[in-house]
Every structure is written in C-alpha cells, then in structure tokens.
Amino acid sequence: MTQTFRTDADIAVPHGWGCRCALHGRRLFTGALVAGAALPALAQQRDPEGVRGDVGKESQFSKLVPAEQVEQAAAQQYEQMKREAAQQRALAPDNHPQVVRLRTISQRLIPFCDGWNRRATQWRWEVNLIGSQQLNAFCMPGGKIAFYFGILQQLQLSDDEVATIMGHEMAHALREHARERMGKTTATRLGASLLSSVLGLGGTGDALLNMGSQLLTLKFSRDDESEADIVGMDLAARAGYDPAAGVTLWQKMLQASKGAPPQFLSTHPAGETRIRDIQAKLPKVQPLYTRAAKPPRKFEPPAPGKG
C-alpha cells in the first residue's frame, strides 16, 4: 500500500545550508538527472550576450579546497536528508505532480550549466521535493537540489518563478560559492594561527581574528547572493523562462517575510534595492528569453492548503 506523502514534516535543513561553518552557508533535488542531454551551453561561452561580463573570475580561495571533496561531502549530507525525509513520509514520490514539475524545469536549465562550470557535465543532478512547510530551496555542490513544499504552495509559484529560484540555487553550485567560502576559512585560519603566534596572542588572538573572518564571510555571502541572482536569471532566460519573474518572486518573498523572515532570506540581500538590481539586469537577458524555445507544457502550483 502506498504511503501518503506528508507536507507538514519537520525536516531540518542539512547542516550548514544556512549556517556559517566552513563547508556551508547555502541551501538544496532525486531522479539521477545526468546532464547528458544536448549542451547548447557550449555556445554560451562564445555568446557575448547575457551577464557573463558582470560576473567575476573564479576566486583564488576556491583552489585551496579540492572540488571533489566538497561535492562528496554535499552528496553525503543530501543522502542523509533524503533518508530523514523518507522516514517521515516526507520525500515526495517520483510521480508526484510537483516532482514531475521540478524535474521538467531542471531538465531545461541543466544543459546551460556547462557554460558556467565545466564540472557540471560530470555531476549527477538530482531533484527532490521535501514535504515541509518551510519556504526554502537549495542546490548543493555537485547539483543536489531540493525544494520544500511550502515555498511552492504558500507563494503559489509560477513555472517562471520556480525557474528563477532554481537558476539562483544552481548558480551557487556552479560558481562554487561553498568551496570558495571553505577556501577563505582555511586561509583565514592559517593566517590567524601564524599571526597569533608571531604576536604572542595565543588562543585569545585566534578568537578575535576568527570574529573578523565571520564578518568577511558575511560580506561575501551577500555578494554571492547577488551574483547568483544574475547568473540564475541568465540560466532561466536561456531555458525559455521569463527572467522578469525575478521581480514578482521577490515581491512575494518580501510579503512573506513580514514578521519573521523566511529561512530562505536569511543571507539574501532584501528590499526594494534587490528588486531594482534585478530590473537593471533584465535588458541583458531579455533577448536570450525572446529567442529561446519556450516550454511546451505549463504546470500549476499546489492547491492552497492541500498536499
């Protein structure tokens, strides 16, 4: 007998996807969606359009930590999250309408990821739906993505808005923001230990310098979020989803954040400034959307108050 999919389970975000420890600071999909489809993103690298010119080069800090180790650690946490969700009947089955929806949208975005990170062709992309009312979604290093039921239902997201969130979260993985932060933490700890030794500060010096590293991490966290916004818009536009949905999405998020901000917004720049930044980039990605093949099928969000 098939068990009922719960949509109100208490599923913790895998450690670090929202915290500030070395590996993490971001958020989280299954179907083993291997990015082996056609790769029009190869042409993207030669395409002068889009936002590539607005995105910086790979951080030197990323090179301090092997990508394989970061992706392996992320995959282990992702599997742990799936097991926990399954135990609570909160891992949506493959035939759930919203799982079909999420995987269909992801399959349109994945072919364009290679243009941002060559390793993406080796990733075993996965897309899962977690039965929790949290307003959350994330993509771990290596292409492990999850949406929480609450963000789809409570915000009544259109396909364009789902693609905007998905592109944003993919961008974190493609731009290796978690790996960069790990590299920064490694470098800062090495530097702090050396400086403390030279100055004779001992453990007290280390503690003080670690506080400074947290401030540095926060700054880059917000920079990462802004970068993910524009890279995500580029991915969505090339996949045939309206990048202007970023405006309506963040209007919904801001409305939902009145009172206690959703976890999804914990490290995101917020307010009208963010919406203006998105609007300022639209002229660069709208031509991509205009030319792109559009999805042949549109999906509806979950009915309000129903699983």
Mean pLDDT (whole number) for 35-59: 54
pLDDT above 60 (res 169): yes
Higher-pLDDT residue of 165, 253: 165
Q: Give all strands of the β-sheet with 137-140 in edge-to-edge order.
A: 33-34, 124-130, 144-148, 137-140
Residue 29 has pLDDT above 50, yes or no: no
Using the predicted structure, report yes or no on whether residue 41 has a pLDDT greater than 50: no
What is the chain's mean pLDDT, rounded? 76
At residue 254, the pLDDT reads: 83
Q: What pLDDT, on a 0 to 100 scale, did the predictor assign at position 279?
A: 94
Name, of 163-172, 253-262, 266-275, the range with top average pLDDT: 163-172
pLDDT at 31: 32
- Taking 3-state DSSP, the helix, strand and coil percentages for the chain, each rounded to the nearest 5, stand at 55, 5, 35
Cα 155 to the center of its chain, rounded Å: 18
User: pLDDT higher for 189 or 94?
Assistant: 94
According to the model, what pLDDT value does residue 50 have? 76
Residue 153 has pLDDT above 70, yes or no: yes
Contact 102, 28 (CB under 8 A): no
Task: Point out the least confidently predicted range of 99-108, 193-202, 255-264, 296-305.
Answer: 193-202
Instruction: State the pLDDT at residue 256.
Output: 85
Per-residue b or e along 209-225, where b marks 16 or more CB atoms closer than 10 Å to that residue's CB: beeebeeebeebbeebb
Mean pLDDT of 116-122: 92
273-300: average pLDDT: 94
Sign, CA dihedral 64-66-69-72, equals: positive
Percent of the chain exceeding pLDDT 70 equals: 63
- Please state, in angstroms and rounded to a whole number, the distance separating the CA atoms of residues 249 and 111: 24
CA distances from 248 to 54, 222, 258 (A): 23, 20, 16
Element (H, E) at 126: strand 124-130
